[in-house]
Amino acid sequence: MTGYKYSYDKDINSSVTFDIDNPQFGQMTIDMFTTLLVTDKVMRTGMWILGSGGTINTVPAIHNSKIYFGACDKVFYCLDMKTGEKEWKFATEGPIVSPPAIHRDAVYFGSEDCNLYALDSESGKLLWKFTTQDKVIGGPVVYENCLYFASYDGNLYALDINGRLLWKFYLGGGSGCTPTASDGVIYIGSSDGNLYAITKYGAMLWRFATKSYVFSSPLVYDGIVYFGSLDENIYAVSADNGSLVWRIKTGSGVAGSPLLCGDLIIISSRDQRTLAIKPSGGEIVWSLKTKDIITVKMSYYNGVLYCGCWDKNVYAVDARNGSILWHVNTNGAVNAPLCHGGLVYAGSWDGNMYAIDMETCELRWKFATSLNYPSQVDFRETVRSAVSSQIVWKSEDDSGKSKEAKEDEIRDYGEFSGSYIKKEEGGYVASGKRSYIRKREF
């Protein structure tokens, strides 16, 4: 069953078609659909949380011929990068979407169980963990023997490599962004719409305000910081003082992280376009349109851009002109690929890590996580994280109400209508129902 289209009122100002069995979100019953529709504005801010499942929604790391990554089955994996054989695994209490960082013989990553973990990279033994007050979905960065990472509790944390807190800085809102460190400064985005520049000692240098969540991990190049915002803009600002250098308007939110590819900066947008931009003046050199959204992280090697897409493909793209060299199909949306040793490693929502030959695009191996079904978006947790209160919604048959009663109710609630499908075990059966959201929650 596919193609159920829901139209929203002018307050929501959008319409969308969802597949019931959709690899982007997993299997969804109608009550999940209703919550998704209710929280559409929240979802488009980028603050959505994954539940348990086999999905791999992170970029891996490679060290000493091993590949490291976490999955939404709550397990962190270490594999032999040549064969895909499991070396060890480590279980946490929450889904793992945080990209790992490796320093010396330790691997660091966050989990939705609110912890940042440090494991021995050879044995998988726990070295230490640091507990925050909310989920850790962005990755840590190691800089000058310190760890910097953000939590959805709104703080940027600085730890020494033994896990001791050095300082924390409140970002004004939760952050799932992986920070960037350069020249003694930590750059990170937040759900409060700002990009922050924080010294390595915890003092704010400046902040640059956008109109929506900054999920994009910034790129610092030649004195300029490049990043995207879900306000549908790509920004270039001065690393010294945060002043605007240029910006580019896109057709949708920009959660993609910019990547330097030769003399071009390449970044993806949720309008399904990937742009190659000249750093100096913001001139667009080429634009690639794909069937769905390119995921937030990409890799570059020897003139070729490697990217994952929600259309279930891994793409190899000529970075000079945007032409597609090859693509490999999987059974789920593909996340951030990593290039190393002639192979492209990419995790998928289908629960597999793929190793693909760069030249021939042949599959060398794939590894399945412990759960053979994709993750679902935890909509209710998403709402709490995004607006700090639960959206109040209802669905009912209002055919017997007077016109005045309906108008009074719609003044307090936004309205959407559409064709409902029957849930297998009760609820939301007829098409003559109407559902509402509280406008004031937004």
In a domain, 397, yes or no: yes
What digits encode the pLDDT tens for the residues 238-255?
A: 999 999 999 999 999 998
Quote the pTM value. 0.77
Are 13 and 31 in contact by the 8 Å Cβ rule? The answer is no
Number of structural domains (the chain) is 1
In a domain, 175, yes or no: no
In a domain, 197, yes or no: no
What digits encode the pLDDT tens for the residues 320-341?
A: 999 999 999 998 889 889 999 9
Q: How many CB atoms lie within 10 A of CB 399?
A: 9
Residue 333 backbone phi and psi in degrees, to 5:
-55, 140
pLDDT on residue 88:
98
pLDDT on residue 107:
98
Residue 402 vs residue 327, higher pLDDT: 327
Report the b/e string of 321-333 with b at 16+ CB within 10 A: ebeeeebbebebb
Is the confidence at residue 29, as pLDDT, over 80? no
pLDDT interval class at 52 (50, 70, 90): low
What digits encode the pLDDT tens for the residues 142-163?
A: 999 999 999 999 999 999 999 9
In a domain, 147, yes or no: no
Pick the closest to residue 216 from 203, 231, 238 (CA basis).
231
In a domain, 430, yes or no: yes
In a domain, 384, yes or no: yes
Parallel/antiparallel/unpaired status of strands 304-309 and 141-143: unpaired
Domain that holds residue 384: 4-49+377-441
What digits encode the pLDDT tens for the residues 347-369?
A: 998 899 999 999 999 999 999 99
In a domain, 165, yes or no: no
In a domain, 239, yes or no: no
Looking at residue 293, what DSSP letter applies? Answer: P
Residue with tokens 């895909």, as numbered in its chain: 84
